[in-house]
């Protein structure tokens, strides 16, 4: 599959929280999903959005497109990343927050990504890091 075709599939993808793994396999293809390997390294809150950085390895580290990631906030709402930027395998995903969550740091966030799920508790300054975890 070409990167252009994969990019079209990523744009069209809208996985659900409950069936995330099956949805992305159906939307992106089982092969590309099987190739995704990464870990959550950093989460930052900035009053309007959440930025979650994954260290991605393998074929996806060199792609100009990023697999869709989901985030669930303390209200139970699920958000799909609106943007992603790859800097040599450090892929930063951006999620918009609803108005009711923009005045305070969310207590926790959950992320679903290919082959994994991670719940993080943010510090008072709105950050979390895998260093020391």
Q: What is the pLDDT of residues 64-118, one digit of tens each?
A: 999 999 999 988 999 999 999 999 999 999 999 876 666 688 889 999 999 999 9
Q: What is the pLDDT of residues 7-40, one digit of tens each?
A: 999 999 999 999 999 999 999 999 999 999 999 9
pLDDT at residue 85 in the model: 95
pLDDT at residue 4 in the model: 92
Cα radius of gyration (the chain): 14
Q: Which of 1, 6, 15, 5 is nearest to 68 (CA)?
A: 15
Joined together, the tokens standing for residue 53 give 């950085």
Kindly tell me if the per-residue pLDDT of 126 is higher than 80. Answer: yes
3-state secondary structure of 124: coil
CATH fold of the domain at 3-129: Immunoglobulin-like (2.60.40)
For residue 128, the Cα-to-chain-centroid distance in whole angstroms is 14
* DSSP state string for 20-37: HHHHHHHHH-HHHHHH-E
């Amino acid at each position: 599959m070409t990167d252009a075709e994969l990019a079209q599939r990523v744009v069209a993808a809208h996985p659900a929280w409950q069936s995330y793994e099956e949805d992305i396999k159906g939307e992106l293809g089982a092969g590309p999903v099987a190739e995704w390997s990464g870990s959550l390294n950093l989460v930052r809150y900035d009053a309007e959005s959440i930025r979650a950085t994954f260290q991605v390895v393998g074929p996806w580290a060199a792609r100009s497109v990023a697999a869709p990631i989901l985030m669930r906030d303390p209200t139970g709402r699920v958000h799909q990343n609106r943007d992603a930027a790859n800097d040599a395998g450090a892929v930063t995903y951006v999620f918009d927050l609803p108005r009711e969550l923009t005045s305070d740091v969310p207590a926790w966030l959950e992320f679903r990504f290919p082959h994994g799920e991670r719940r993080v508790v943010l510090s008072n300054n709105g950050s979390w890091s895998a260093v020391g975890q």
